[in-house]
Amino acid sequence: MKRTALLSLLFFALTANAEKILSPDKLTYVDINLDNGRLSYSAGYRTVVKAKKKGALPDTLDVPMLLNSPLGVYTNVADFSKNLTYLQGKKSEKPIRQTYHLRQGKQSEISTEYNEYYAVYSTPETKRNGVLMRVCFRVFNNNIAYHYKFLQTGETSAIVVNGEASGFRLPTDATAFICPQSDPMIGWKRTKPSYEEGYIWDEPITTRSQYGHGWTFPCLFHEGNKGWVLISETGVTGNYCGSHLSDATPDGLFTIAFPMEGENNGFGSTGAQLGLAGSKVTPHADITGNTPWRTITLGPTLKPIVETTVAWDVVEPLYEPSIEYKGSRNTWSWILWQDASINYDDQIKFIDLAADLGWEGCLIDGGWYENIGREGMEKLFAYCKQKGVSPWVWYNSNGGWNDAPQCARQCMHNSIVRKQEMKWLQKHGVKGIKVDFFAGDKQETMRLYEGLFSDANDYGIQVICHGCTMPRGWERMYPNYCSSEAVLASENLYFSQDFCEMEARHATLHPFVRNTTGSMEYGGTALQRRLHKEPNKGNTRRTSDVFELGTAIAFQSSGQNFALTPRNLTEQPKFEIDFMKQVPTTWDETCFVDGYPGRYIVLARRNGSRWYVCALNGQKQVQNINVTLPMLAGKQVTWLSDGTDGKSPSAQQVTLDKRGTLRADIPGECAVVLY
Ligand code: CA
């Protein structure tokens, strides 16, 4: 292995078409290679090997995680996956440092460093059309991002991208935690894909996806003792489509897959229409001609995966916030009281509940237009104002892309009606909207998202998306964007007992996969044992109370629609309600402590000077936890646990030892929370 590394160093020195790019700490690498006109890369991390001879420098050993993987783009003017000629390239001489503030995410003040490399390529068609492709790689410690930029040197200033050769080759013995891409136009009122199918858990990467359309981002892979790889995309705007991963070939190659033709009721292209960057394009040149970033997070442990900020590191804010947007905890009648609760009297009860809990908002869900009406809504808005609660309002994104019947409809699908609606919302103090039933990942739909966010900002309104795709850097790109569902969310607790049986297992998967690359609007923390408006009806929750409280820490979303109901105020132990009264939804720091996807997780998050730690056991059997929490060393904390039977929740004041030891035998589907 060592000799191979040496030989490859010699090889790199001899050819201009091969480059090795290292992260600032020199422990993450990408090898780029142009061979016979075809561009490819491989990537991994490096371990330092002690020198054998005394006094010699230590050597490094490459640990490959992504094997020889293709690069390139298929366009209507040229095939940029073959016959490429290298024209010029540039490598940053020293690491590029950036610091930025992220209002909502895992961390608020972010400081990162990367090394950048780009190279420009022509094709045989360039002589005629003047179009060049530039590939750009940014290599951070444990993170890699790459994208393509198309440059205009002739008359052609617009191209159509039909697909990408961009691939990710894994060793065939790797396993996957991935979610299949659904068929289009199936499910509830033909609203899929909604990016909420059932995962495969630690299964071979060559497993065929349920619908044969591949896998939804983000995708987590386990390479045994070597470690973990997370693959995703970020920076998707109305200038491109969203994508996903294909099924793997028998030799382990996943490639970027574009939307399916049937999405959006078959309307709109599956490709992307792209304006080129050139010397005459001056404003906004940074984002012109770019494809979205393909991102890879890798390392020997799960820590870089859970803590990654790459989705936000490589994007920029696309407009200024019109007001100062803040996190919001909302009550939400629909989750357990369902459609019948979308009436004036029940909404008053949930506005009162928000006021009693000291929460910021109350979400009035689908059906209000018919059942409450605009006049009734204005009365509710006035009542909210009186109680110091901000209203949030549900909308159907339709439009003409599916049959979802809930109202209000035809209010958010184009800019003219949207602005009228938002003017009304702003006038009555509405702080946010939840827009549902989007139509997939075509560029057509990405333009809808972008227009929606941008218009809402003009009226000081935040946006939660439901029945939608995963966000792609949007927390930073669109300052009033709040969160997205794109997960098998809490509504399924009401719909299916089978989902209740799996709730704990799913909850210990999401912080490792779905929630690593974007805010996740799950709508959780149900404290009722029976999940229904009536006391002895509905599905039975299997998780413990402290487990539910812990998910408020584990699931990241700056807007949380929690599943608490008025009954909880009198039925739950006081300490549970006290916890929910003060748990924040925005975080200054996130620290992965221990865990394994779908089994358990110990996660610490900081808000201001206070740390919140959850240890969730997603399994049926007891999980022993023995970790140190340096951030809580020697400190007094409130320690919530479920008792040895898992059914006796209690709160105690405990002072941790000087190492910050957290030792506990956590019963199945139970948790420990420290704060
Ligand atoms: Ca859903």
Whole-number Å distance, alpha carbon 487 to ligand 1 midpoint, is: 7
Give distance in angstroms: CA of 590 to centre of ligand 1. Answer: 27
Mean residue pLDDT of the chain comes to 95
Distances (CA, A) of 659 to 301, 366, 609, 629: 22, 49, 19, 7
Q: Within 285-372, where are the H helices?
A: 303-307, 310-313, 334-337, 344-357, 368-371
Residue 436 Cα to ligand 1 midpoint, Å, equals 9
* Amino acid residing at 470: M
Region of residue 523 (left: phi > 0; alpha: psi -120 to 50; beta: else): left
CA 663 / ligand 1 centre spacing (Å): 37
2-40 pLDDT, tens per residue? 444 444 444 443 345 899 999 999 999 999 999 999 999
337 CA to centre of ligand 1 in angstroms: 16
CA of 468 to the centre of ligand 1 (A): 8
Distance 410 CA to ligand 1 centre (A): 20
Distance 369 CA to ligand 1 centre (A): 21
Interval between CA 198 and ligand 1 midpoint (Å) = 12
CB atoms within 10 A of CB 44: 25
- Identify any residues that bridge with 434 across adjacent strands, giving them in sequence order: 394, 464
| Distance from residue 201's CA to the centre of ligand 1 (Å) | 21
Average of per-residue pLDDT across 449-471? 98
pLDDT in tens, 505-549: 999 999 999 999 999 999 999 999 999 999 999 999 999 999 999
Decide if pLDDT at 341 tops 90.
Answer: yes
Q: Measured in angstroms, how far is the CA atom of residue 380 from the centroid of ligand 1?
A: 26
Q: How far is the CA of 264 from the centre of ligand 1 (A)?
A: 17
Beta carbons of 50 and 2 less than 8 angstroms apart: no
User: 413 C-alpha vs ligand 1 centroid, how far in Å?
Assistant: 19
How many residues in total does the chain contain?
Answer: 675
Tell the residue number behind the tokens 């109305």, with chain if given. Answer: 238
Distance 9 CA to ligand 1 centre (A): 50
For residue range 224-241, what is the model confidence (pLDDT) as tens digits?
A: 999 999 999 999 999 999
The average pLDDT across 442-454 equals: 98
pLDDT of res. 15? 46
How many Å lie between the centroid of ligand 1 and the Cα of residue 557?
A: 16
Q: SS3 for 291? A: coil
pLDDT for 54 equals: 82
Whole-prediction pTM value? Answer: 0.96
CA of 335 to the centre of ligand 1 (A): 11
What is the 467 CA–ligand 1 centroid distance (Å)?
5
**How many Å lie between the centroid of ligand 1 and the Cα of residue 210?**
18
Of 250, 337, 30, nearest to 348 (Cα)? Answer: 337
Phi, psi for residue 231 in degrees, rounded to 5? -120, 135
Q: What is the pLDDT of residue 548?
A: 98
Q: Of 616, 204, 273, 652, whose CA–CA distance to 442 is shortest?
A: 273
Distance 189 CA to ligand 1 centre (A): 12
- Between the CA of 195 and the centroid of ligand 1 the distance, in Å, is 8
Dist. CA 415 → ligand 1 center (Å): 25
| More reliable by pLDDT, 12 or 584 | 584
The token duo for 262 is 């049937």
Answer yes or no: is pLDDT of 432 > 80.
yes
Q: What is the pLDDT of residue 14?
A: 38
The rounded Å distance from CA 49 to ligand 1 centre is 49
Q: Which helix (H) or strand (E) holds 463?
A: strand 462-465
Query: Rounded to whole angstroms, how far apart are CA atoms 308 and 331?
Result: 30
Q: Are 330 and 392 in contact (CB under 8 A)?
A: yes
Q: Are the CB atoms for 248 and 502 separated by under 8 Å?
A: no
Mean of the pLDDT values across residues 143-170? 97
- Expressed in angstroms and rounded, the spacing between residue 466 Cα and the centre of ligand 1 is 7
Residue 406 CA, ligand 1 centroid: distance in Å:
14
pLDDT reading at 207 higher than 90: yes
- 593 Cα–ligand 1 center, Å: 30
Give the whole-angstrom CA distance, residue 375 versus residue 510. Answer: 40
CA distances to 399, 456, 458 from 420, rounded to whole Å, are 16, 11, 12
pLDDT digits (tens, 9 = 90+) for 273-308: 999 998 776 666 677 899 999 999 999 999 999 999
Set out the domains of the chain in order of their start, with CATH numbers: 3-313 (2.70.98.10), 328-586 (3.20.20.70)
How far does the centroid of ligand 1 lie from the alpha carbon of residue 560, in Å?
Answer: 15
Both tokens of 405, joined, read 């019947």
> What is the dihedral sign for C-alpha 595, 233, 177, 520?
positive
In 3D space, the residue among 546, 580, 588 whose CA is nearest the CA of residue 560 turns out to be: 580
Name residue 423's amino acid.
K
CA 197 / ligand 1 centre spacing (Å): 10
pLDDT of 60 reads: 87
**Is the pLDDT at 86 greater than 90, yes or no?**
yes
Q: In terms of Cα–Cα distance, which of 241, 270, 639 is closest to 443?
A: 241
How far, in Å, CA of 237 to CA of 453, rounded?
Answer: 11
Q: How far is the CA of 194 from the centre of ligand 1 (A)?
A: 7
* Cα gap 508→553, rounded to integer Å: 12
Cα dihedral 402, 408, 412, 418 in deg (nearest 10): 160
| 8 A C-beta contact, residue 474 and residue 453 | yes
